[in-house]
Amino acid sequence: MPNAEAPTKRYNRTICVPFSKPVYIEIVRDALSFRAYLDEKIALVPEIFPFHIVDGYLMKDIYFSKKLAIPIRRIEIAAVGYTVRPSFVMPYLTGEVKDVENALFFRKFDVPFWAIAHVFGRDSMYWYRMENQLGKNSIVGTTIKDASLLPEHVAADEKHTWVLGEKRYIATTVASECILGASIAPDAGAEALTTAYGVFKKETQGIKPDYAPRTANIDGWAGTQKAWTTIFPSVFILFCFLHVFIKIRDRAKKKHRSIFLEATSKLWDCYNALKRRSFSQRVRRLVEWAQASAIPPVILDPIKKLHTNLSSYAMAYNYPGAHRTSNMLDRLMQKMDRHLFSTRYFHGSLSSAELNIRGWTLIQNFAPSNPTTVRKYNGYNSPAARFNQRQYHDSWLENLLISASLGGVCAAPQNPLE
């Protein structure tokens, strides 16, 4: 259903409606035809409109955009003015989608702005600002268009980066192959991470005010654990089993190869246990074997730590669908790592860095996947489309812009009569 609250920020008072350019030019000056078209879209895709539009709306003025030489209509809903922007036009009327879509698609693969400018024209700052303006939208609200799809199980970690040479941390939250949170924390302390991960909570509340995930898979960092239990007191923290293996592999694979192979074989045998009780028993047997075999500390210590935190690993059996490893998170963060490396990290203010990583995130969620992958998923050509099992437009960028209507803050109230 449409949005419950009238957005206060100006960019959140823009409704992006699916339009083809010929149809838009034909009806935009005819109030009756324009209203009839809007009424049809309100019935088909009510979630991209403010909730109060169900009580009616008034047609307001038309202003002419000199940038693009097209008229733009405004409407009034519950005494609040909204701009109706056609989906073939970029935010702030900085260009038409057909002229920028291919260029922004290359940002999925971190093609530098100067190279994009060399091929598509304009200058590098034009394309930099184009990506950044996407970051003003809610990542969660733009990516997820139905409150029932909010994930029960998430995975989270921090990506190390630099802003003007100072080390910073990108608090990243993922689910269903989509990045749902990417906010920069000034340090890795619990307070800073609570604020950074809190952006994810704020954006989920725009869809469902009482939302809380059932589980969150993390790497065991105390600050991350404290942040998540502060933000979502009911969430159960699961430690990533893969990190136990990684610690052993990185420290022992070369120096202690023979014992490394035996120890990790037993470790994965624990992971493959079908029931919680069997998992716990296998871990205890693994610890007993490790202590009796006098294996080196670089292998023994992670195994003992696994046993100490056994409940944080075994509890996953109580939550079918929970993330026992961070594989999906690692895949997405590898893309983020390549992006940060290719751009040589951030060179401006903290706020511009935040907008940039958020804009890049939405491009990752909505840009088309490899056609081979698309054939496996009934033609849904992006992670966001597969998440929602729907898309508003065949153009990936128009689909993104329509999803970002009202800044992506498009949730319905729990009771429409309230």
Q: What is the mean pLDDT of residues 350-375?
A: 91
pLDDT of residue 411: 44
- Report yes or no: 101 and 395 within 8 Å, Cβ to Cβ: yes
380 pLDDT more than 90: no
pLDDT of residue 283: 95
pLDDT digits (tens, 9 = 90+) for 240-281: 999 999 999 988 887 888 899 999 999 999 999 999 999 999
Residue ranges with strand state E in 92-232: 153-163, 166-175, 178-185, 215-218
The pTM score is: 0.90
CA distance 289 to 384: 46
375 pLDDT more than 90: no
pLDDT digits (tens, 9 = 90+) for 144-183: 999 999 999 999 999 999 999 999 999 999 999 999 999 9
Q: What percent of the chain has pLDDT over 70?
A: 95
403 pLDDT more than 60: yes
| Radius of gyration of the chain from its Cα atoms, rounded to whole angstroms | 24
CA distance 392 to 278: 47
pLDDT of residue 12: 82
**DSSP symbols for 207-230:** T-TT---SEEEE---HHHHHHHHH
370 pLDDT more than 90: no
pLDDT of residue 410: 63
* Tokens of residue 311, six digits: 């409940």
pLDDT level of residue 294 (50, 70, 90 thresholds): confident
Q: What is the mean pLDDT of residues 50-56?
A: 90
How buried is 288 (Cβ within 10 angstroms: 0-12 exposed, 13-18 middle, 19+ buried)? Answer: exposed
Q: Which residues contact 413 (CB under 8 A, 6 or more apart)?
A: 4, 51
